[in-house]
Amino acid sequence: MATPCIVCEEWCPTSPKAVYLLEEIAIDSRGREVRVKRPYVDASLCTGCGACYAPCPAQAIRIG
């Protein structure tokens, strides 16, 4: 999915956030370059609650 989205970071309840976003270039369905923020999880901060996983429209977060 080459759609900019930060919902997982917004839903992460930890402080500091266990989910962090790194800007990358993705190719959309029309072959165009799009700047997106890909989610990554800091395992040392993650509690495994799933708050980031449930609202993710792209299922980009993996737990476990």
**Hey, what are 25's tokens?**
């270039």
What is the mean predicted confidence (pLDDT) over 2-18? 89
Please give the Cα distance from 39 to 20 (Å, whole number).
6
Which pTM was predicted? 0.74
Length of the chain in terms of residues written? 64
Contact 25, 11 (CB under 8 A): no
Give the pLDDT confidence score for residue 60 in this predicted structure: 78
